[in-house]
Amino acid sequence: MFALIKWVEDGKFSILPTEHIRDFDEDEYFTGMEEKNVYLVEWRQGVKEPKGGWPVYEASIIKIAEREKTLQIKLKEIEEQLPKPDIIKRKSKPSIKLLEAAELRDEPAAKKKVYPTDLPNDLKVWNEKKIEHLQRVINLLREENMNLKKENKWLKNEILEKIPPLLQATEHLLTEPMKSNADVPDMSKSQPHAPLSHPPKPVDSNAAVLDVPKAPSKASLSGAAKGSSDAEYVELAHGTGIKILKHQWASALQAQTATSMVRVLLMATFPLEVLIHSNLKGGQSKTDIGAERRTALDKETMAAIYVAVRKRFPNVSRGALGIAVNSKLGN
């Protein structure tokens, strides 16, 4: 239960539990048998009771209810019926700063002080600073120009020193294959019994033939061609100096028999007009008595051909190769 009480001392209202009211009997209060108008009420603030007990004040009971909210509604009704006290407004005092500002506005504005200036001297100082700045800029540009000249001179020296050798090397690479090809006899312009383009050299019968794969790849041919002008040629026998073009050597390697290989090498090493008027050892033809006397083929060239063929076909005899040569030449 809760009680709405009015304190006797100051006339204010409070809502407290009925347990705070000493010697209060709810049954007697509701039956009207309670004769007291003023009760002693404990003012309990805090959790723990002090040693001397709770302070006690006199108060009268206005209403008893089970819910505190009911008493709050009753208290609100009572407060609305009470006369409202007059609110005394505090007189405002003017601000001292505002008063001072108003006084200053009333006074006439003081004239600004004019300081004398030396205009010609100021212009002179400004021009001097501007000239100093421009001079620094000019010095920086001169220094940059000198650096560029040094760099251009260095580049010019590099070009003069390195470009001409590169041009000479390029020209050499371009013209060298042409010179090498010039050494190959032109069969269409060669005369009968024309001398060989390569001077004969002594041949060792045991000389080894240059080992070349049976089917040289395009990559190997192109790689060798870049090395020198002789990269397009193959030497039949080491140390003889008798050379043929690589594609001619590849055709010879594709031959299935020794006789066909020797015929391919004949066409590669001798001009056609030389072959028409020659045979293996020279002299009169044995099959055609009325034919003209023929000259012998170059012995060193034939020796190189024999070595190359027998390197590929080791079981073939020298006589069989000679017969194949004469049959090719029509003897």
What single string gives the DSSP state of each residue in 231-253? GGEEESSTTT--EEEHHHHHHHH
Confidence at 225, pLDDT banded by 50, 70, 90:
very low
Query: In the chain, what's the furthest Cα-to-Cα distance?
Result: 185
Domain 218-329 falls in which CATH fold?
Answer: Arc Repressor Mutant, subunit A (1.10.10)
Distance CA 294, CA 13 (A): 160
Cα atoms in the Cβ-side hemisphere of radius 13 Å centred on 308:
35
DSSP state letter for 49: P
Tell me the pLDDT tens digit for each residue of 171-197.
767 765 444 444 444 444 444 444 444
- pTM for this structure? 0.32
Instruction: Quickly list H helices, 107-236.
Output: 119-182, 218-225
Contact criterion met (CB below 8 Å) for 190 and 273: yes
Distance CA 34, CA 3 (A): 15
| Assigned token pair, 78 | 């009572």
Mean pLDDT over 291-319 rounds to: 88
Asked if the model's pLDDT at residue 309 lies above 80, the reply is yes
Tell me the pLDDT tens digit for each residue of 1-38.
888 888 888 888 888 888 888 887 777 777 776 667 78
Distance CA 303, CA 202 (A): 9
Residues whose CB is less than 8 angstroms from the CB of residue 214 and which lie 6 or more positions away in sequence, other chains included: 253, 254
| Assigned token pair, 116 | 């004398």
**In the prediction, which pLDDT does 331 show?**
61
Angle at 48 (CA atoms; ends 45, 54), nearest 5 degrees: 55
- β-strand partners of 234: 244
3-class state of residue 2 by DSSP: strand
Percent of the chain with pLDDT over 90: 7
Least confident of 155-159, 266-270, 317-321: 155-159
| Assigned token pair, 273 | 């007009």
* Paired sense of beta strands 2-7 and 233-235, if any: unpaired
**In the prediction, which pLDDT does 12 show?**
87
Mean pLDDT over 53-70 rounds to: 86
Amino acid found at 32: G
Least confident of 28-42, 59-73, 252-266: 28-42
Distance CA 257, CA 316 (A): 9
Tell me the pLDDT tens digit for each residue of 96-149.
777 777 766 665 655 666 556 666 777 888 888 889 999 999 998 998 889 888
Contact criterion met (CB below 8 Å) for 302 and 220: no
The domain ranges of the chain are 2-81, 123-182, 218-329
